[in-house]
């Protein structure tokens, strides 16, 4: 009994190093396929991520050195406090996160904490619901490019927002007993941190440098997860998972070809959604509902990107992880309801 407990402890202690070792062996054994995967990951990063996210990173960094946060705070406190138990300045993270997509919301939440604009508990609440896919990705990439139908993109974006709002409302009770008087808690940013003609060059340089570090971090995660998916495909692991889960999917009358798309999407969102959208079945609503689930969750690649940003602060990652799981199921539920209630969103043949 003692020996078995020792073996379990050793396995727990060494599981991460073992995973890294297997990843290294996978890169060597399946080198040809991995090279192609890395090239595709780099293309995805260069063509889609950098043009859409990098300017927003710089813009949000610059805006953090202006009075815009305090203006937003005054305007949105009557909305944010009753709904999400967060002062108005938190609306900046939600709005920018929704417009620009992952992981802007997390970066702003961390900045709000770093600059003592919001409390630790408020920033943790923000993490639970402000990291979302943007309209450019959901409506443009998923709806128009992948599904070839803008209405599908609109439906997915609506349910994505609804799920996000619901998660934010549920998390208004997160560590509620820790909050004192919110207005008294505000620590205003020192005036010498605000942008002016004297420090404009310095602040722009700092904003660009910080944005480059973040965007390169995201690029690294995209490449790593592209390689992981390639190894899983080449090793036959995905085929094994598909075979194992096939009886369950047949029992609930869902095409087994969705298994690979779901597994891929749980690892890396874009590849998974592309796979799901290319599965041709008469009940297209199944494709849409599964896509909604994956969009709500975001994939492990995005999750690790966000966690790497959170790790630089004293914020807990639990609200983010729990929030994304909740959002995935809520988005699925809302999508199912709207498809069945509104003829406008009925896409089955």
Q: Is the pLDDT of residue 197 over 80?
A: no
Q: How confident is the model at residue 187 (pLDDT cuts 50, 70, 90)?
A: very low
- What pLDDT is recorded for position 17? 82
- What pLDDT is recorded for position 2? 57
Percent of the chain exceeding pLDDT 70 equals 90
Mean pLDDT, rounded, for 19-47: 86
Residue 66, judged by CB atoms within 10 A of its CB (0-12, 13-18, 19+), counts as: middle
Q: Is the pLDDT of residue 331 over 80?
A: yes
116: alpha, beta or left? (left if phi > 0; alpha if psi -120 to 50)? left
- What pLDDT is recorded for position 190? 46
Q: Is the pLDDT of residue 7 over 70?
A: no
- Is the distance from CB of 331 to CB of 338 less than 8 angstroms? no
Q: How confident is the model at residue 184 (pLDDT cuts 50, 70, 90)?
A: very low
- Is the distance from CB of 288 to CB of 254 less than 8 angstroms? no
Q: How confident is the model at residue 74 (pLDDT cuts 50, 70, 90)?
A: confident
Q: Is the pLDDT of residue 221 over 60?
A: yes
Q: Is the pLDDT of residue 322 over 80?
A: yes
Better-predicted residue by pLDDT, 52 or 262: 262
**Segment 239-251, tens digit of pLDDT:** 898 889 889 888 8
CA–CA distances in Å: residue 317 to residues 1, 30, 163, 224, 324: 35, 34, 19, 21, 11
- Is the distance from CB of 288 to CB of 156 less than 8 angstroms? yes
Closest CA to 316 of 178, 146, 160: 178
User: What does the domain layout of the chain look like in residue ranges?
Assistant: 26-345
Q: Which residues contact 271 (CB under 8 A, 6 or more apart)?
A: 226, 229, 264, 265
- How many helices (DSSP H) and strands (DSSP E) are in the chain? 17, 0
- What pLDDT is recorded for position 181? 45
For the chain, the helix, strand and coil percentages under 3-state DSSP, each to the nearest 5: 80, 0, 20
Place of tokens 């690029």: 219
Report the residue count for the chain: 349
Q: Which residues contact 266 (CB under 8 A, 6 or more apart)?
A: 272, 294, 297, 299, 300
Distance CA 111, CA 117 (A): 8
Distance CA 281, CA 283 (A): 5
Mean pLDDT, rounded, for 320-343: 92
Q: How confident is the model at residue 170 (pLDDT cuts 50, 70, 90)?
A: very high
> What backbone phi and psi angles, to 5 degrees, belong to 335?
-65, -45
Please give the mean pLDDT across all residues of the chain.
Answer: 84
**Segment 254-273, tens digit of pLDDT:** 888 889 889 989 998 888 88
Residue 244 tokens read as 């194992």
Mean pLDDT, rounded, for 110-129: 89
Percent of the chain exceeding pLDDT 90 equals 20
pTM for this prediction: 0.84
Q: Is the pLDDT of residue 111 over 70?
A: yes
């Amino acid at each position: 009994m003692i020996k078995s407990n020792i073996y379990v402890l050793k396995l727990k202690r060494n599981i991460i190093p073992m995973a890294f070792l297997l990843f290294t062996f996978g890169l060597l054994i399946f080198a040809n396929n991995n090279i192609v995967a890395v090239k595709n990951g780099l293309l995805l990063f260069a063509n889609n991520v950098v043009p859409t996210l990098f300017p927003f990173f710089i813009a949000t960094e610059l805006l953090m050195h202006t009075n815009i946060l305090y203006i937003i705070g005054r305007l949105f406190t009557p909305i944010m406090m009753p709904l999400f138990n967060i002062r108005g300045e938190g609306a900046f993270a939600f709005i920018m996160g929704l417009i620009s997509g992952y992981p802007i919301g997390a970066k702003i939440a961390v900045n709000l904490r770093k600059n003592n604009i919001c409390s630790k508990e408020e920033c943790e609440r923000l993490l639970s619901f402000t990291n979302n896919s943007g309209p450019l990705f959901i409506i443009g990439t998923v709806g128009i490019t992948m599904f070839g139908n803008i209405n599908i993109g609109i439906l997915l974006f609506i349910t994505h927002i609804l799920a996000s709002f619901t998660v934010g409302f549920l998390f208004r009770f997160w560590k509620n007993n820790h909050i004192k008087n919110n207005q008294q808690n505000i620590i205003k940013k020192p005036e010498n941190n605000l942008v002016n003609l004297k420090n404009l060059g310095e602040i722009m340089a700092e904003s660009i440098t910080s944005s480059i570090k973040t965007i390169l971090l995201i690029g690294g995660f995209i490449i790593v997860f592209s390689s992981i998916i390639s190894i899983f495909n080449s090793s036959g692991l995905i085929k094994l998972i598909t075979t194992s889960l096939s009886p369950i999917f047949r029992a609930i009358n869902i095409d087994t070809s969705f298994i690979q798309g779901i597994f891929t999407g749980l690892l890396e969102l874009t590849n998974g959604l592309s796979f799901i959208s290319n599965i041709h079945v008469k009940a297209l609503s199944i494709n849409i509902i599964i896509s909604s689930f994956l969009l709500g969750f975001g994939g492990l690649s995005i999750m690790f990107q966000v966690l790497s940003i959170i790790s630089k602060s004293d914020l807990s990652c639990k609200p983010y992880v729990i929030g994304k799981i909740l959002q995935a199921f809520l988005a699925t539920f809302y999508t199912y309801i709207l498809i069945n209630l509104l003829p406008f969103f009925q896409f089955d043949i």
